[in-house]
């Protein structure tokens, strides 16, 4: 009988016939480069015959074999005088503070043999004691070989005394000619630095200091200065908050000054009084992905939305103007306003943009909120007005001497380069010859934060210390020392900090250093009467907030893991995919699917599984960004597009140069504007690590609403346990097994719990894993080939509008249903799921390895012996979780990866963890559950003759997670936190039905739906 | 027959004279003093601060009698503070010269003891006399000679047999065959014998494979590796003769994965005082003629110690000593000393061999994986450690209790607790 059915290999084959047809006709997915080889004239003219070739081949193989038998002589060079505090092989930890111009975090630096190799979260008593991806990655920026090594004038080296003499001369000239002497820095919150500035001010009448934040908070600062009398932002306290409403504020992405992720996660524990989160935004941000409810608006509507909420929550209708909001949106906002009124003082509203009026409107809504404390945070102080004035003064030729440090205005402020050309003398105190430094008269290196002394006062009542953990690698000098010299103070940075700690605050130096800081007397609190005065300016503020012109296309800028771009040359931050889009090594215009279709823009999956996208030109005023790739983003508000900061660097170094688009070029200090978009020819190649975006109706991430969770504490209705019917009756997946079970009761049994409710998807754990385990960086091209090496990935799933019930209702067949299931909803709910090796106790990988290179341990771990692996990749094929990574190239020596892999130069290699093997080509690798830490922890306990304490041994990912989503420990310890987590009703195993019995388990996500 | 050597009368006379001279030289002026005892007392009480020929912490004591009287010395040594207090000019002068560093009082020394010490100081050690001694080469018994002799016998025997055979053939009337003909005949017969050829091929193949296999298994195995180190350091002298504990120098073996090569400042703890000038050779003569040992001088050169001024040189560019690593493990094998030394209580010698007897350190063990595994199979776990013995802080069973439940009374070997698992050493 004839079979007329047609089967498609893929949805592409059905939908995009052209590519798929070509693909189907070709024997190989990619062209084999025969012409390239045969076309090479030299090859064809070569005198070497085939026989000769075989002879040489044979000889060289034999020679190589023999040469390999020679044992190299290895030297072992001890210290001449070994420091007392140092034992080779044992790490030392130093409390310090991470400040890079954008982020602030209290940290603990792990050093081995005098090299910092890992950044961990700081002491609990300190402010911002958690590390985001950038803080984790910052240790590699120390070993960046592109750092400036010595002071330079026009590319030739000069000495530090010459730099200082040159500076003094320029100051005197500026003083004599009646011109200004200006210092441009990032936000300054160091007491020592401020006292040096005061001396400078006293000494030079023409001195002025201007602060600048790359991503400006100037408008919010202006608002709070007006309201409270202090140019500082109030600290937030979420302990009593029940509802967070964020209008365009991406507060979880790590770009906000205060790390509130931990407090947020703590308040999001499922149960009574669980924090509810509503996000009103245009781009699907990381924060929006975590919201219980997300309302899509265009960027220009943000002011109107805030005004609408002011009118409905403060009890004074008509106070603010509401613009022209659609009826549908108004209905949603009415519901939201009702919730906000119900939450009362327990509601917090955040506004994320730097547009005039937004912060004031949010403050008006928050006038009764208990989350706003009167404690000031000094982390941001940049002023847009002052920078504009400075640029004008520079253009007018009023600036004689300019010192720039801690910021990169030529990159982040369009027009600054032009203004600088009118300055007589400029000195950049910088870490590299960046866009700004390369235009300065003199560029001189400052030490990395891990090489220098500093003191900070990030918030009222807090003194934080930064201490060096390594000798300066280059001939650098802290900016504060150069300025002190100009001020006539001949003290080192250490002496200045010591004077502040000991003399100003009356603290003990050693203890303060050891603790990474101290609590000091609180500064003046913010004026509390702002709550009553805030309503006065609302009408004006709302006028400004509604002033932004709307347009067919509106662009809102955002920050991803690269942030403002201070650490653009750090390959770890690029290798980490954007948590929401899952695209790495790029920035792009995010656009909704409907808009893209309308504009004729496409994203296509190529025959090799890589993603290509159309490109557009984006124009704002007289500035055009050319060839911006477009990425279709579910959840993007119609008519809006998004673009990330931090890319398009030209002088950052070989990793970052010419990668992506510089969003600062649009001069969007407000953060959003109407733009025009025109499609252009050509395709852009994306490096996306995830192509399947939905769960296709499977229970990969288990979800439950808060109401259902509260109704059924046992979890039977929403976390059904899989069972098997066997000859011996019904058995759970843990009991039914074909294999003889392992002895897991005798020794320690390591398990890991991942709480999907706490995980916000930030990616700090991914970077931490990279650092801890010497995971190679593979670069954009290999990621496109799906050869990414992440031992730990964070899968992101969108909900789909299609499910089995809808399909039945609409009478759809299986193929149509599954095809539709692949499409994410245009307003999706988003879940993040970190997936690493699940350490199955019935591991499918172990049974297929022909050489037993992967095997099971008594401690519940799936071991991987690299030296035994012969690279058949059967294990990766058989792994249901797809967590095994094959090492395709010699990443540490192959020239192809010289630009991206830090292990390829002598400096970058210093960051490698000496306790973990650097894997070579041809072996399989995967998460080891940080076995080096387990072994170290057990040995420490044995050395001290005691059992392991719970929490003493933890993995790099668990340690890096600020929201505490990952718990690691020994389930044979009856008091361990991980055992308690295992017994929770929310716990389930990923793909439980296949009976792998993993050592990793997940906690069901609970959504706080109204 | 050779004549027995006759010693002339005059030679006897010369020897006797020499003996008298030597004796009179060692027992010259001081009558009843005991120089040997003096030397012993000197080494115990004085040597840490004084040398005979040069300044150490205190002044050189050789020829002390030229500068001081015996009575003064007795008073000084017994209680120099009292002597200084009495206003003695010499005593106070020397005290000032040494920046007020106080010499210990020795009230326990009798006058006789002090006289003995003084006598030793005057006499000094015997200086080495440069005598060219021709090295005596002993012919060792070489088994190859026996084999050669045996082989020669066999050849002779074969020749004899051929001779006999040819004679017999001649008797029979057949033409005599030469040796060459014989050999080629034999080879022809054997070559045509299929069984023999199969046998030979198999034997050759097995031999070849065995040799190849052994050779390949030896790749990377550096047993008996004995590199020449930048300093001719002797573990025998330090760990053997002077019984210095291994952990004194390799202190991190107890706490870290790395046993550690001591930094030069650890060497200086002792070698600030021991400069090698007193090292004697087999004949008891000073090996370096009272000079510093050139090997110890290398430490001084590394760290910047001036042995004459007895001080570290300021601003010296220190040079680390570039030792050659003897025990090398591949990068993918993780070994931790503390695990074995502290937790496993394994003696250093178990793996490193009789280091205290090694003049030059060599790799005693194979350091192959098979060797490691074998030990993990045969070694009992030291379960008296609190790690195994105590339950976690909030109750539950200790590992020992759980081990007892599983293995009953059998002794628990390292392999039983996972000592053979890949991930314990490879990560």
Is it the case that residue B58 has pLDDT exceeding 60? yes
**One domain for residues A728 and A870:** yes
Alpha-carbon gap, residue A1004 to A611, rounded angstroms: 31
Indicate yes or no: CB of B258 within 8 angstroms of CB of A867: no
Kindly state the helix (H) or strand (E) to which residue A878 belongs, with its residue range.
helix A874-878
- Summary mean pLDDT of chain B: 83
Q: What is the mean pLDDT of residues A198-209?
A: 94
Indicate yes or no: CB of A80 within 8 angstroms of CB of B260: no
Shortest CA distance to A871 belongs to which of A898, A847, A850, A892? A850
Whether residue A954 is contained in a domain is answered as yes
Residue A642, φ and ψ in degrees, nearest 5? -130, 155
Alpha-carbon distances, residue A994 vs A728, A928, B85 (angstroms): 19, 22, 94
pLDDT reported for residue B13:
56
Show the beta-strand stretches assigned E in A450-588.
Answer: 454-456, 462-466, 517-519, 553-558, 583-584
> What confidence tens digit (pLDDT) does each residue in B257-287 have?
999 899 999 999 999 888 888 888 888 788 8
pLDDT over 70 percentage in chain B: 87
Alpha-carbon gap, residue A245 to A252, rounded angstroms: 13
- Alpha helices, DSSP H only, in B277-390? 294-303, 337-338, 348-352, 369-378, 386-389
Neighbours of A425 (CB within 10 A): 21
Alpha-carbon gap, residue A262 to A126, rounded angstroms: 13
Is it the case that residue A17 has pLDDT exceeding 70? no
Assess contact for B413 and B380: CB atoms under 8 A.
yes
Assign B422 to helix, strand or coil: helix
Is it the case that residue A41 has pLDDT exceeding 80? no
Q: Which of A125-134, A402-411, B14-23 has the lowest mean pLDDT?
A: B14-23
**Which tokens belong to A683?**
């395709």
Task: Identify the CATH homologous superfamily for domain B35-123.
Answer: Cytochrome c-like domain (1.10.760.10)
> What confidence category does residue B37 fall into, taking pLDDT thresholds of 50, 70 and 90?
confident
Q: Which residues of A touch B266 (CB under 8 A)?
A: 82
- Domain's final residue, options A664, A688, A712: A688
B238: closest CA of chain A, how far (Å): 19
Whether residue A109 is contained in a domain is answered as no
Assess contact for A376 and A523: CB atoms under 8 A.
yes
Shortest CA distance to A687 belongs to which of A602, A582, A606, A769? A582
Indicate yes or no: CB of A89 within 8 angstroms of CB of B257: yes
Is it the case that residue A793 has pLDDT exceeding 70? yes
pLDDT reported for residue B152:
94
> What confidence tens digit (pLDDT) does each residue in A145-165 have?
999 999 999 889 999 999 999
Alpha-carbon gap, residue A931 to A938, rounded angstroms: 10
**One domain for residues A760 and A826:** yes
pLDDT reported for residue A11:
57
**Which tokens belong to B235?**
């573990």
Best to test chain B binding among A947, A973, A978 (most B CBs inside 10 Å): A947
Nearest neighbour of B385 by CB, restricted to A71, A77, A945: A945
pLDDT reported for residue B281:
80
Indicate yes or no: CB of A935 within 8 angstroms of CB of B424: yes
Indicate yes or no: CB of B303 within 8 angstroms of CB of A946: no
Q: Which residues of B touch A948 (CB under 8 A)?
A: 387, 392
**Which tokens belong to A308?**
């609408």
pLDDT reported for residue A12:
58
- Identify the DSSP state of A782: H
Alpha-carbon distances, residue B252 vs A478, A611, A917, B256 (angstroms): 36, 53, 22, 5
Q: How far apart are the first and last CA of chain B?
A: 78
Shortest CA distance to A910 belongs to which of A236, A328, A115, A97? A115
**One domain for residues A625 and A741:** no
Q: Which of residues 309-338 of A touch B (CB under 8 A)?
A: none
Whether residue A621 is contained in a domain is answered as yes
A81 has a chain B CB within 8 A of its CB: yes
Whether residue A765 is contained in a domain is answered as yes
Q: Find the residue in A nearest to B262 (Cα).
A: A78
- Domain's final residue, options A655, A688, A721: A688
Kindly state the helix (H) or strand (E) to which residue A604 belongs, with its residue range.
strand A603-605
CATH of the domain at A652: 2.40.40.20
CATH of the domain at A708: 3.30.70.20
Shortest CA distance to B339 belongs to which of B426, B427, B250, B255? B255
Alpha-carbon gap, residue A650 to A876, rounded angstroms: 39
Q: What is the mean pLDDT of residues B20-24?
A: 50
Assess contact for A630 and A614: CB atoms under 8 A.
yes
Residue A856: half-sphere exposure toward Cβ, Cα within 13 Å: 23
> What confidence tens digit (pLDDT) does each residue in B335-362 have?
999 999 999 999 999 999 999 999 999 9
Alpha-carbon gap, residue A125 to A396, rounded angstroms: 49
Is it the case that residue A27 has pLDDT exceeding 60? no
Nearest neighbour of A747 by CB, restricted to B322, B405, B417: B417
**Which tokens belong to B111?**
């006058």
Indicate yes or no: CB of B263 within 8 angstroms of CB of A81: yes
pLDDT reported for residue B29:
46
**Which tokens belong to A825?**
């909803």
pLDDT reported for residue B5:
47
- Alpha helices, DSSP H only, in B48-88? 70-78, 80-85
> What confidence tens digit (pLDDT) does each residue in A869-889 have?
999 999 999 999 999 999 999
Is it the case that residue B14 has pLDDT exceeding 80? no
Q: What is the ipTM of this complex?
A: 0.85
Higher pLDDT, B17 or A480: A480
Alpha-carbon distances, residue A894 vs A538, A602, A889, B342 (angstroms): 61, 35, 7, 41
pLDDT reported for residue B196:
92
pLDDT reported for residue B25:
46
**Which tokens belong to A952?**
């003493």
Indicate yes or no: CB of B332 within 8 angstroms of CB of A866: yes
Alpha-carbon distances, residue A660 vs A512, A515, A585, A655, B418 (angstroms): 43, 41, 8, 12, 50
- Domain's final residue, options A688, A721, A744: A688
Contacts of residue A551, defined as CB under 8 A and 6 or more positions apart, other chains included, come to A300, A674, A675, A676
Parallel/antiparallel/unpaired status of strands A372-377 and A347-351: unpaired
> What confidence tens digit (pLDDT) does each residue in A893-902 have?
899 998 888 8
> What confidence category does residue A438 fall into, taking pLDDT thresholds of 50, 70 and 90?
very high
Assess contact for A95 and A465: CB atoms under 8 A.
yes
> What confidence tens digit (pLDDT) does each residue in A540-578 have?
888 888 887 888 999 999 998 898 989 999 999 999 999
Higher pLDDT, A586 or A101: A586
Alpha-carbon gap, residue B216 to B103, rounded angstroms: 65
pLDDT reported for residue A26:
61
**In terms of residues, how long is chain B?**
427
Indicate yes or no: CB of B263 within 8 angstroms of CB of A865: no
- Identify the DSSP state of B253: G
Is it the case that residue B26 has pLDDT exceeding 50? no
Nearest neighbour of A867 by CB, restricted to B264, B390, B426: B426
Is it the case that residue B2 has pLDDT exceeding 60? no
pLDDT reported for residue B391:
78
pLDDT reported for residue A13:
55
Q: What is the mean pLDDT of residues B353-382?
A: 94
> What confidence tens digit (pLDDT) does each residue in A974-994 have?
889 999 999 999 999 999 988
Alpha-carbon gap, residue B313 to B294, rounded angstroms: 19
pLDDT reported for residue A245:
95
> What confidence tens digit (pLDDT) does each residue in A746-761 have?
889 999 999 999 999 9
> What confidence tens digit (pLDDT) does each residue in A795-830 have?
999 998 888 888 889 888 888 888 888 888 889 999
Indicate yes or no: CB of A868 within 8 angstroms of CB of B426: yes
Neighbours of A952 (CB within 10 A): 14
Kindly state the helix (H) or strand (E) to which residue A932 belongs, with its residue range.
helix A931-944
Alpha-carbon gap, residue A231 to A378, rounded angstroms: 8
> What confidence category does residue A102 fall into, taking pLDDT thresholds of 50, 70 and 90?
confident
Whether residue A525 is contained in a domain is answered as no
Nearest-10 Cα torsion for A31, A35, A37, A41: -170
Q: Find the residue in A nearest to B251 (Cα).
A: A87
A747 has a chain B CB within 8 A of its CB: yes
Q: Which of residues 843-872 of A touch B (CB under 8 A)?
A: 853, 855, 857-859, 861, 863-868
Indicate yes or no: CB of B320 within 8 angstroms of CB of A80: yes
Whether residue A563 is contained in a domain is answered as yes
pLDDT over 90 percentage in chain B: 39
Listing DSSP states for A558-593 in one string gives E--TTTTTTTTT-HHHHHS--TTT-EES---EEE-H
Indicate yes or no: CB of A78 within 8 angstroms of CB of B323: yes
pLDDT reported for residue B408:
84
Contacts of residue A1004, defined as CB under 8 A and 6 or more positions apart, other chains included, come to A702, A703, A704, A709, A715, A718, A719, A756, A757, A986, A987, A988
Listing DSSP states for B36-81 in one string gives HHHHHHIIIIITTT--SSS-SSS---TTGGGTS-HHHHHHHHH-HH
**One domain for residues A785 and A879:** yes
Whether residue A933 is contained in a domain is answered as yes
Assess contact for B266 and A88: CB atoms under 8 A.
no
**Which tokens belong to A764?**
């700090």
> What confidence category does residue B16 fall into, taking pLDDT thresholds of 50, 70 and 90?
low
- Summary mean pLDDT of chain A: 90
Domain residue ranges in chain B: 35-123, 147-217, 369-424
Neighbours of B332 (CB within 10 A): 17
Indicate yes or no: CB of A77 within 8 angstroms of CB of B320: yes
Indicate yes or no: CB of B263 within 8 angstroms of CB of A88: no
> What confidence tens digit (pLDDT) does each residue in A366-400 have?
999 999 999 999 999 999 999 999 999 999 999 99
**One domain for residues A734 and A659:** no
Alpha-carbon gap, residue A294 to A591, rounded angstroms: 17
Is it the case that residue A14 has pLDDT exceeding 70? no
Q: How far apart are the first and last CA of chain A?
A: 57
Alpha-carbon gap, residue A619 to B65, rounded angstroms: 102
Parallel/antiparallel/unpaired status of strands A372-377 and A425-430: unpaired
Could you tell me if residue B336 is left (phi over 0), alpha (psi between -120 and 50 degrees) or otherwise beta?
beta
Whether residue A97 is contained in a domain is answered as no
pTM of the model: 0.84
Alpha-carbon gap, residue B158 to B164, rounded angstroms: 10
Nearest neighbour of A88 by CB, restricted to B258, B323, B385: B258
Is it the case that residue A626 has pLDDT exceeding 90? yes
Indicate yes or no: CB of B426 within 8 angstroms of CB of A87: no
pLDDT reported for residue B11:
52
Give the residue numbers spanning the domain of A895.
703-1007
Domain count, chain A: 3
Q: Which residues of B touch A79 (CB under 8 A)?
A: 263-265, 320
Q: Find the residue in A nearest to B217 (Cα).
A: A69
Q: Which residues of B touch A82 (CB under 8 A)?
A: 263, 265-266
pLDDT reported for residue B276:
86
Higher pLDDT, B183 or A687: A687
């Amino acid at each position: 009988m004839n079979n007329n059915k047609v089967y498609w290999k893929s949805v592409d084959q059905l939908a995009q016939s052209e590519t798929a047809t070509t693909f189907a006709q070709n024997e190989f997915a990619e062209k084999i480069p025969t012409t390239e080889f045969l076309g090479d004239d030299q090859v064809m003219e070569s005198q070497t015959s085939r026989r000769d070739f075989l002879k040489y081949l044979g000889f060289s193989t034999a020679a190589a074999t023999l040469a390999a038998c020679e044992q190299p002589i290895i030297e072992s060079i001890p210290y001449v005088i070994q420091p007392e505090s140092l034992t080779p092989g044992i790490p030392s930890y130093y409390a310090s503070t991470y400040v890079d111009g954008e982020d602030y975090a209290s940290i603990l630096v792990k050093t081995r043999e005098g090299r910092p190799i890992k950044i961990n979260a700081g002491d609990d008593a300190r402010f911002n004691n958690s590390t985001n991806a950038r803080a984790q990655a910052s240790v590699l920026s120390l070993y960046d070989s592109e750092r400036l090594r010595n002071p330079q004038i026009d590319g030739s080296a000069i000495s530090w005394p010459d730099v200082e003499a040159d500076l003094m001369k320029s100051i005197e000239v500026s003083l004599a000619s009646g011109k200004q002497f200006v210092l441009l820095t990032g936000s300054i919150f160091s007491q020592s630095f401020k006292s040096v500035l005061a001396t400078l001010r006293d000494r030079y009448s023409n001195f002025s200091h201007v602060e600048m934040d790359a991503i400006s908070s100037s408008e919010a600062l202006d608002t709070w200065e007006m309201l409270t009398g202090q140019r500082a932002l109030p600290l937030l306290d979420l302990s009593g908050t029940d509802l967070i409403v964020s209008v365009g504020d991406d507060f979880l992405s790590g770009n906000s000054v205060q790390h509130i992720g931990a407090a947020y996660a703590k308040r999001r524990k499922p149960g009574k009084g669980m924090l509810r989160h509503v996000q009103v935004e245009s781009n699907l941000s990381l924060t929006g992905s975590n919201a219980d409810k997300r309302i899509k608006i265009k960027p220009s509507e943000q002011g109107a939305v805030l005004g609408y909420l002011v009118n409905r929550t403060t009890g004074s209708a008509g106070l603010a103007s509401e613009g022209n909001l659609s009826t549908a949106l108004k209905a949603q906002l009415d519901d939201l306003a009702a919730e906000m009124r119900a939450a009362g003082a327990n509601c917090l509203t955040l506004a994320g943009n730097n547009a005039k009026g937004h912060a004031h409107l949010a403050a008006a809504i928050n006038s009764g909120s208990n989350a706003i404390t009167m404690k000031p945070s000094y982390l941001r102080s940049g002023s847009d007005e002052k920078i504009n004035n400075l640029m004008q003064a520079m253009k007018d030729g009023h600036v004689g001497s300019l010192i720039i440090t801690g910021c990169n205005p030529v990159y982040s402020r369009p027009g600054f380069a032009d203004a600088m050309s009118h300055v007589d003398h400029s000195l950049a105190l910088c870490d590299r010859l960046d866009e700004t430094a390369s235009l300065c008269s003199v560029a001189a290196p400052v030490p990395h934060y891990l090489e220098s002394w500093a003191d900070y006062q990030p918030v009222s009542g807090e003194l934080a210390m930064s201490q060096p953990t390594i000798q300066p690698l280059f001939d650098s000098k802290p900016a504060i020392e150069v300025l002190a010299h100009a001020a006539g103070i001949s003290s080192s940075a250490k002496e200045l900090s010591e004077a502040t700690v000991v003399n100003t605050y009356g603290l003990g130096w050693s203890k303060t250093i050891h603790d990474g800081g101290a609590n000091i007397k609180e500064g003046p609190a913010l004026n509390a009467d702002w709550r009553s005065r805030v309503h006065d300016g609302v009408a004006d503020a709302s006028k400004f907030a509604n002033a932004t012109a709307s347009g067919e296309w509106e662009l809102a800028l955002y920050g991803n893991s690269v942030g403002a771009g201070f650490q653009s040359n750090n390959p770890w931050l690029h290798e980490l995919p954007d948590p929401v889009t899952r695209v790495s090594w790029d920035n792009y215009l995010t656009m909704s699917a409907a808009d893209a279709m309308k504009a004729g823009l496409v994203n296509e999956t190529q025959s090799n599984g890589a993603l290509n996208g159309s490109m557009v030109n984006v124009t704002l005023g007289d500035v055009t960004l050319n060839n911006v790739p477009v990425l279709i983003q579910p959840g993007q508000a119609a008519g809006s597009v998004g673009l990330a900061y931090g890319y398009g660097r030209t002088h950052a170094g070989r990793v970052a140069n010419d990668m992506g688009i510089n969003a600062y070029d649009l001069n969007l200090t407000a953060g959003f504007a109407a733009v025009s978009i025109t499609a252009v020819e050509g395709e852009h190649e994306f490096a996306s690590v995830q192509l399947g975006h939905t769960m296709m109706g499977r229970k990969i991430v288990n979800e439950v609403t808060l109401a259902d969770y509260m109704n059924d504490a046992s979890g039977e209705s929403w976390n059904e346990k899989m069972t098997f019917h066997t000859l011996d009756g019904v058995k759970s997946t843990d009991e039914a097994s074909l294999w003889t079970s392992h002895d897991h009761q005798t020794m320690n049994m390591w398990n890991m719990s991942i709480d999907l409710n706490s995980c916000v998807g930030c990616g700090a754990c991914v970077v931490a894993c990279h650092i801890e385990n010497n995971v190679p960086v593979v670069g954009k091209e290999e990621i496109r080939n799906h050869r990414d090496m992440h031992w730990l990935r964070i899968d992101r799933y969108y909900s789909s509008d299609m499910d089995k019930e809808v399909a039945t209702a609409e009478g759809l067949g299986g193929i149509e249903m599954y095809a539709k299931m692949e499409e994410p909803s245009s307003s999706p709910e988003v879940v993040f799921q970190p997936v690493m090796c699940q350490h199955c106790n019935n591991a499918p990988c172990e049974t297929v390895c022909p050489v037993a290179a992967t095997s099971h341990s008594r401690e519940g771990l799936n071991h991987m012996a690299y030296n035994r692996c012969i690279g058949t990749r059967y294990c990766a094929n058989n792994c249901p979780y797809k967590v095994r990574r094959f090492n395709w190239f010699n990443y540490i020596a192959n020239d192809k990866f010289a630009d991206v892999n830090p292990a390829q130069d002598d400096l970058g290699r210093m960051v490698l963890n000496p306790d973990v093997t650097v894997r070579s080509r041809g072996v399989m690798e995967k998460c080891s559950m940080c076995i080096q830490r387990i072994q170290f922890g057990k040995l420490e306990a044995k050395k001290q003759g005691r059992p392991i304490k719970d929490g003493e041994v933890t993995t790099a990912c668990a340690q890096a997670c600020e929201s505490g989503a990952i718990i690691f420990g020994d389930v044979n310890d009856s008091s361990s936190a991980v055992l308690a987590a295992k017994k929770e009703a929310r716990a389930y195993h990923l793909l439980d039905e296949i009976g792998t019995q993993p050592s990793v388990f997940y906690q069901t996500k609970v959504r706080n739906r109204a | 027959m050779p004549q027995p050597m006759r010693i002339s009368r005059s030679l006897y006379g010369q020897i006797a004279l020499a003996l008298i001279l030597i004796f009179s030289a060692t027992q010259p002026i001081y009558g009843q003093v005991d120089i040997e005892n003096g030397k012993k007392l000197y080494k115990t009480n004085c040597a840490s601060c004084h040398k005979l020929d040069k300044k150490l912490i205190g002044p050189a004591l050789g020829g002390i009698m030229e500068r001081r009287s015996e009575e003064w010395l007795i008073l000084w040594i017994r209680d120099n503070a009292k002597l200084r207090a009495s206003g003695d000019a010499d005593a106070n002068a020397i005290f000032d010269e040494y920046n007020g560093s106080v010499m210990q009082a020795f009230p326990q020394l009798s006058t006789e003891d002090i006289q003995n010490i003084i006598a030793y100081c005057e006499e000094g050690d015997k200086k080495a006399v440069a005598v060219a001694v021709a090295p005596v080469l002993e012919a060792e018994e070489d088994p190859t000679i026996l084999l050669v002799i045996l082989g020669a016998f066999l050849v002779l025997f074969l020749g004899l047999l051929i001779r006999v055979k040819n004679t017999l053939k001649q008797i029979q009337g057949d033409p005599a065959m030469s040796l060459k003909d014989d050999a080629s005949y034999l080879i022809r017969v054997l070559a045509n014998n299929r069984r023999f050829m199969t046998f030979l091929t198999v034997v050759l193949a097995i031999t070849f494979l065995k040799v190849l296999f052994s050779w390949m298994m030896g790749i990377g195995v550096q047993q008996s590796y004995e590199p020449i180190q930048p300093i001719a350091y002797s573990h025998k002298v330090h760990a053997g003769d002077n019984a210095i504990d291994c952990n004194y120098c390799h202190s991190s073996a107890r706490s870290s994965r790395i046993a550690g090569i001591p930094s030069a400042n650890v060497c200086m703890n002792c070698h600030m005082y021991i400069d090698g000038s007193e090292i004697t050779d087999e004949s008891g003569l000073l090996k370096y003629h009272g000079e510093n040992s050139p090997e110890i001088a290398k430490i001084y050169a590394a760290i910047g110690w001036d042995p004459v001024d007895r001080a570290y040189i300021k601003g010296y560019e220190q040079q680390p000593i570039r030792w050659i690593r003897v025990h090398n493990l591949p990068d993918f094998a993780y070994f931790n000393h503390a695990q074995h030394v502290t937790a496993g209580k394994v003696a250093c010698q178990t793996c490193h061999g009789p280091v205290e007897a090694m003049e030059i350190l060599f790799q005693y063990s194979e350091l192959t994986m098979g060797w490691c595994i074998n030990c993990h199979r045969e070694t009992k776990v030291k379960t008296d450690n609190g790690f195994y013995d105590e339950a976690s802080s909030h109750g539950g069973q200790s590992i020992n209790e759980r081990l007892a439940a599983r293995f009953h009374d059998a002794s628990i070997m390292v392999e039983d607790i996972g000592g053979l698992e890949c991930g314990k050493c490879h990560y």
